[in-house]
A and B are shown apart, each in its own frame.
Chain A
Amino acid sequence: MQDVQKKIREEARNLLAARKVDLVIGFEKGTIPCRTSPVFVHKEDDVGKLVWNSFCEMNLATYLTKIDKNKKVAVVAKGCDSRSIVALLVEGQVKREKITVIGIPCQGMVDRRKIERKVEGEILEAEEENGKILVKGSSFEKVFKKEDYLYSSCRVCKHRNPSIYDILIGEKVKENTQVDEYADVIEYEKKSPDERWQYFEKEIGRCIRCYACRQACPTCYCEECFVDSSNPKWIDKGVDLSDLAIWHIIRAYHQAGRCVDCGSCERACPMQINLRFLTRKINKEVKDYFNFEAGLDPATPPPLATFSVEDRQDFIDSGEGVKETKL
């Protein structure tokens, strides 16, 4: 961890000193323990702000669409961040020559909420060493094993190594190919429609329409989101269940073939709604129907922007086998 952090700082310093980039986007120490925040380093002297630990959970690709597109930017990218960058490249949202990807093979990020639940009182200090997280409070001191407290998205991650990078920091890690990433989606599909609706209602019914999920998502970059449009006004602004349902269905649908399952939406959610259960269903369908996974190859167009004559259409009444009666 310390090595990686040192190398990130070194590379950032070199890039800035050689004027290869105008800006380095990375992580800095958060204002409270177990957190980091994004940092934008413009000057060589500020590279000391950059950190690397198990709480670097944000997807930094989000910021690439929000800054001046003519700026040369270096970005610290985990596996999921790099896949998001590929998704943006494929959609023409960023220019490859303007972006320097500082790829970091990732071992998964720690879900601070899981740790917070295990301790009584406020965490005042957190340290990390050899896969162990040490947290201290005024009346406790506890050690947690990192791999038991990973985010659910990190547990099922199959792309820990960056899919594209210009600079790679650290050794590539072994991919977790054994895990069945859609096991719970398949389990959920087996329930009855009413049970499924009940769960859906319970989850999205808690939504307060803060749109943090949208803001955290790298592929939600529309200048005007359908939910903000007032003409036509697609849905009302309140928290009526039908409005919430439409918002979440369409938000997930818009991710088809683009979502890299980084889990940022879910982490950003103040109500801790299980948002990935929708996007992962879509990822699964995209894989089943179109044999596509987002963010792996900058040369493959997004599946919903293209088609194949052979696409499945078993859900469409095509009238095959029915003879048209002569009129």
Chain B
Amino acid sequence: MKEKEPKILAFLCNWCSYAGADLAGVSRIQYPPNIRVVRVPCSSRVNPLFILKALQEGIDGVLVAGCHPGDCHYISGNYVARRKFAIIKSLLEYIGIEKDRVQFAWISAAEGARFAQVVKEVTEKVRRLGPAKKLVKSEES
């Protein structure tokens, strides 16, 4: 049987990373089709619960991307988000979730090529981990 393609959920902030993805698109840069994009107003909109929920519903990897520090449309959203992510990331690793299941990146609106590069790297890392098993909701319930 052919290896199952990993599914990756990407939370992209409206002002930078989503525009970066758009730039990659209009520039016709190729990147893996494994990501599903959720546009969020700011990276600080991403509640760690969203990440866990995605993993529970069978997503193999999560990427959260926002503006570079200092570039936030809402001035400080990504700084606040950075603190949240630091805590949830180390907690998830602590309980034994693989390090690369949940990844974070800063991607600006001008970084179309970098967006493609990040998606490539994230997809590769998640592919190496194989399908997510921990936290996934069992079928029968």
Contacts and interface: CB of A to CB of B under 8 A. Distances in A.
A230 interface: no
A324 B104 contact: no
A195 interface: yes
Nearest to A239: B141
A318 B16 CA distance: 13
A293 B55 CA distance: 31
B30 interface: no
A282 B91 contact: yes
Contacts of A200: 95-96
Contacts of B48: 249-250, 253
Interface of B: 23, 27, 48-49, 52-53, 56, 68-70, 76, 79-80, 82-99, 103-107, 110-114, 117-118, 121, 134-138, 141
B82 A249 contact: no
17 contacts: A193-B97, A193-B99, A196-B96, A253-B87, A278-B94, A282-B87, A307-B83, A309-B79, A311-B79, A312-B86, A315-B86, A316-B85, A316-B106, A317-B105, A319-B118, A327-B23, A327-B112
Contacts of B135: 242, 245-246
A242 B96 contact: no
A198 B70 CA distance: 40
Contacts of A313: 69, 82, 86
B137 A240 contact: yes
A276 to B, nearest CB: 13
Given A234-B53, A319-B106, A327 B83 contact: no
A304 B84 CA distance: 7
**How many residues of A sit at the interface, in one of the four size bands?**
35 or more
A63 interface: no
A318 B79 contact: no
A261 to B, nearest CB: 16
Given A240-B141, A242-B136, A327-B112, A307 B95 contact: no
A319 B80 contact: no
A136 B118 CA distance: 67
